[in-house]
Amino acid sequence: MQDSRWPQLKRLLQDRGWVWRDGALYAPHDTLWFQTNSNDPDYAAFRDRMTIARDATQHNVDIDIDHAALHEDLISLVDALDAVLAN
């Protein structure tokens, strides 16, 4: 059985502009995408990894438009994961 939080995460991301395409969720700027293949995903570990990536990209947002787009996509992902984990 699939984790009950997956539909909530999917809905939250789609509300933030993510698009379900080809069996994966794509970020608004198409900088990243993912799908779940696990019946018991570790959302906390995923959030931690994405938080590290978000923090690493924040220093380049003013000098590189691609990093700025990635940073915005990571912010929306981390925010959605935080909301799912808060429930």
| Sequence ranges of the domains in the chain | 5-86
In which residue ranges of the chain is pLDDT below 70? 1-2
Residue 2: its pLDDT value, please?
63
Residue 1: its pLDDT value, please?
40
Q: For residues 6-15, b (16+ Cβ closer than 10 Å) or e, as one string?
A: eeebbebbee
Cα separation, 70 vs 33, in Å, equals 11
Contact 50, 78 (CB under 8 A): yes
Residue 8: its pLDDT value, please?
92
Residue 23: its pLDDT value, please?
87
DSSP character at residue 59: G
